Amino acid sequence: MLVRPAAVSGLFYPSDPVELTAQLDQLMGGGGAKLNYAPTALIVPHAGYIYSGEIAGQAYELLKQRDLYQQILLIGPPHRIAVQGMVVPSVTYFATPLGHYPLESALLSELVSEGWVSFDDSAHELEHSLEVQIPFLQRLGFSAPLIPVIVGARDPRRVASLIDHVVSIRPTLILISSDLSHFHDAKTAEQLDAQTTQKIVTRDYSIKPEEACGSPGINGLLYWLQSRGKSIELIAQCNSGDIPAGDRGRVVGYGAYVVY
């Protein structure tokens, strides 16, 4: 059994399982909108839970019909190592304080052999954009295996093709991990993030890295949505200056979106 240890436990979220469980319950207990049907995809932020966890929690609250998904395609950007193309890990589990979450290892090997992605454990070793999503899934009781993909600079059509290929295999939940603008004052960030949200909800796949750090994944999803005629809507949006004692002179934007 090959396990990727938690890299940001105790930094982005609590390392104590009891404390982590309590925080997740709080983040997903806000009484957000509930759907009578299962989302196809979510875009969720990936900062520390004290910053973006409430926004992410409002998205994860929608996933009440977990048994409808047989696998989870999780796409996020690299922060530690430059990545060209799309890379996956060779491990079979991702570890968090809540236990080991299984990966869809057989499919990952197939995707590599077919040329969709490449193996690169070094890119995944310290990456937080994917890891911070897993405790939400664990607390919700998900067991559908994970297909974790880090996407660097990539044509959105290629990312869309990967999405289309994976969802054609079996019922899939698509999770795109991304924050919005970085390090502007709060007023500027609110304006920029509103413009990015407008692009997202109109399925404009021209989002730039300075508008969203996970723009390759978002653009790929939006391109795929256009081909499928699916809509996407905003769930919630804020920035790091909105939390108590947040620095409103230098903020990071967060948004969550759902595909019906």
- Whether residue 10 lies inside any domain: the answer is no
Query: Is residue 11 domain-resident?
Result: no
Domain for residue 16, yes or no? no
Q: Using the CB atoms, write b or e for 103-117: b if 16+ within 10 Å.
A: bbbebbeebeeeebb
How confident is the model over 94-141, as pLDDT tens digits?
999 999 999 999 999 999 999 999 999 999 999 999 999 999 999 999
Residue 34 has pLDDT above 90, yes or no: no
Mean pLDDT of 62-67: 87
**Can you give the CATH number for the domain in which 181 is found?**
3.40.830.10
Q: Is residue 151 part of a domain?
A: yes
CA distance 260 to 257: 10
Angle subtended at Cα 131 by Cα 80 and Cα 17, rounded to the nearest 5 degrees? 130
Average pLDDT of the residues in 215-230: 96
pTM of the model: 0.96
* Residues pairing with 173 in the sheet: 72
Residue 205 has pLDDT above 60, yes or no: yes
Q: What residue type is assigned to position 183 of the chain? A: F
> Residue 31 falls within a domain, yes or no?
yes
Number of domains comprising the chain: 1
Query: pLDDT of 162-202, one tens digit each?
Result: 999 999 999 999 999 999 999 999 999 999 999 999 999 99
Residue 2 maps to a domain: no
Q: What is the pLDDT of residue 36?
A: 63
Which of 36-40, 143-147, 156-160, 219-223 has the lowest average pLDDT? 36-40
pLDDT confidence of residue 245: 73
Give a yes or no: residue 3 inside a domain: no
Residue-number span of the structural domain to which 97 is assigned: 23-246+252-259
Does 6 map to a domain? no
